Amino acid sequence: GSGTRRWPAATCVVTGASRGFGRSLARLLAPRLGQGSLLLLLARSETALEELAAELRGTGTDTGIGTGLRVECVAADLGCQQGLRRASAALRELLPAGPPGCLLLVNNAGSLGDISKSFLDLTDPDEINSYFAFNITSALCLTSTALQAFGKQPGSCRTVVNISSLCALKPFKNWTLYCSGKASRDMMFRVLALEEPDVRVLNYAPGPLDTDMQLLARTKTGDPEMCQFFQSLKESGQLIDCIVSAQKLVKLLEEDTFCSGAHVDFYDI
């Protein structure tokens, strides 16, 4: 095709946007968004979000300097009810005010959980419930709220991306919470794809990214073999730069040929 598909007038929502993969993705999306587009960034850290928003304002296409792209930030901890309510209220307020052409929602926010613990160490329901509240409940609530707020408009396109993982398909020692959370999210979004055939749904596994999360993986995983595995990925240069993986996701979205609900891995592309 023409190389870069521009989203002429789009509403984009990225969760976990302040660092790592989410930040890289927001940086790639912003210049592709046409005039009047809305980019909504969600994360816990207000400072990091505001810095990113300031950088991205005025990077939309079809624009002179400094106009064209509206960037809004919502600082909220999606793991607690108050934060999730604030984020949902922001979606309900901002999405109807954005352009009606396209909606792109990227569910990127997520956490590893306490990977020093084995299955048998996970006995505290509060710890487990708070993990799933952040990693599953918030993704479901934000997605349903966003789709409702954006509405079903003739000729509009709606795409929902779940940032998935190989862990959605394959078990890893000490990663009970992470693996079950990722598997649950994949299935949740497959149900969405089935129920809403006019919503494009993608489960994208970005590969082993060079992020703070990977640092945790290779220093905090309780299982020594797993720890060694992650250390060797780092040492042999096999970790993927966030920008490189985010570019693959953008390409997938631009080509728009994926089967709705599919699990697509960085290495498949």
Question: Which pLDDT belongs to residue 67?
Answer: 54
Question: Which pLDDT belongs to residue 154?
Answer: 86
Condensed to tens digits (0 to 9), the pLDDT of residues 171-196 reads: 999 999 999 999 999 999 999 999 99
The span from the CA of 122 to the CA of 131, in Å, is: 11
Question: Which pLDDT belongs to residue 63?
Answer: 46
- The arithmetic mean of pLDDT across residues 129-143, rounded, is 98
Question: Which pLDDT belongs to residue 247?
Answer: 98
Residue 257: phi, psi to the nearest 5? -110, 0
Q: Which pair of tokens denotes residue 155?
A: 């000729």
Residue 183: phi, psi to the nearest 5? -65, -40
Q: Where residue 118 falls among pLDDT bands split at 50, 70, 90? A: very high
Classify domain 10-209+242-265 by CATH number. 3.40.50.720
Mean pLDDT over the full length of the chain: 94
Question: Which pLDDT belongs to residue 173?
Answer: 95
Domain range list for the chain = 10-209+242-265
Question: Which pLDDT belongs to residue 5?
Answer: 53
**CA proximity to 206, closest of 251, 157, 164, 170:** 164
Q: Which pair of tokens denotes residue 238?
A: 């096999």
- The arithmetic mean of pLDDT across residues 133-137, rounded, is 98
Max Cα-Cα span within the chain: 58
> Three-class SS string for the chain?
CCCCCCECCEEEEEECCCCHHHHHHHHHHHHHECCCEEEEEEECCHHHHHHHHHHHCCCCCCCCCCCCEEEEEEECCCCCHHHHHHHHHHHHHHHHHCCCCEEEEEECCCCCCCCCCCHHHCCCHHHHHHHHHHHHHHHHHHHHHHHHHHCCCCCCEEEEEEECCHHHCCCCCCCHHHHHHHHHHHHHHHHHHHHCCCEEEEEEECCCECCHHHHHHHHHCCCHHHHHHHHHHHHCCCCECHHHHHHHHHHHHHHCCCCCCEEEEHHHC
Percentage, residues of the chain above pLDDT 90: 88
- The arithmetic mean of pLDDT across residues 82-103, rounded, is 96
Question: Which pLDDT belongs to residue 6?
Answer: 62
**Structural contact between residues 205 and 265, judged by C-beta atoms closer than 8 angstroms:** yes
Condensed to tens digits (0 to 9), the pLDDT of residues 50-91 reads: 999 999 997 776 544 445 799 999 999 999 999 999 999 999
Question: Which pLDDT belongs to residue 35?
Answer: 87
Residue 239 has pLDDT above 50, yes or no: yes
- The one-letter amino acid at 186: D
Question: Which pLDDT belongs to residue 1?
Answer: 37
Question: Which pLDDT belongs to residue 2?
Answer: 40
